Amino acid sequence: MSHAELPPLPVESLFSVVSRRESSLVRRERWTAFGLAAAASLAVAVAFGVAGAWPVLPYSVLEIALLGLAFVWVERRAGEWERVTVAGDRVIVERAGRGRLARREFNRWWLRVELDEARARGPQLLLRYAGEAMDFGSALPPARRVEVARALKRLTVSG
């Protein structure tokens, strides 16, 4: 299983929500788009080179390399996801990104759910436990983040 796939829930849950970035293209389509853009750029650069404007070629190669780096960055971000699950007396937060899968479990009754609405990019959902703070739902739309915060607050006593 790749890190982009969600593992099944380990237990029966009361509440579970997944946060992942929207992706309009699947992997193969993304790389096809890159190939077409790179081929078009290189074709134009070769045409200019044949016409005597050879300095265009290095810039075209630089452009294709930077576009390739951007596509690699998008590809890495496409596989990231987060999931928060309330099951029994536990709150389980799982994250996949950068090729790693991380999992944290918190006592449901001691977890504090906060919504910091003083941010320019929308509200930030914070899970606080034992002096630590963990954010959740950065890929969720702001309105959905507020809904998740309210639902988690209802399910935790100290929320």
| Residue 97, domain member (yes or no) | yes
| Residue 98, domain member (yes or no) | yes
Residue type, 37: A
Are 72 and 88 contained in the same domain?
no
Measuring CA to CA, which residue among 154, 139, 148, 145 is closest to residue 123? 145
Are 37 and 102 contained in the same domain?
no
Are 91 and 38 contained in the same domain?
no
Q: Identify the residue with better confidence: 119 or 70.
A: 70
Vertex 85: Cα angle to 84 and 89 (nearest 5): 130
Q: CA-CA-CA-CA torsion for 88, 90, 96, 98, nearest 10 degrees?
A: -170
Distances in Å between the Cα of 120 and the Cα atoms of 117, 123, 124, 142, 145 are 8, 8, 10, 11, 14
| Residue 123, domain member (yes or no) | yes
Q: Which of 10-19, 41-50, 129-138 has the highest mean pLDDT?
A: 41-50
Please state the pTM of the whole predicted model: 0.70
Task: Note the pLDDT tens digit of each residue in 27-56.
Answer: 899 999 999 999 999 999 999 999 999 999
Are 88 and 130 contained in the same domain?
yes
What is the pLDDT at residue 10?
65
H helices present in 3-141, as ranges: 27-50, 56-78
Are 86 and 147 contained in the same domain?
yes
Residue 141: domain span: 81-155
H helix or E strand, kind and range, residue 154: helix 142-155
Are 31 and 86 contained in the same domain?
no
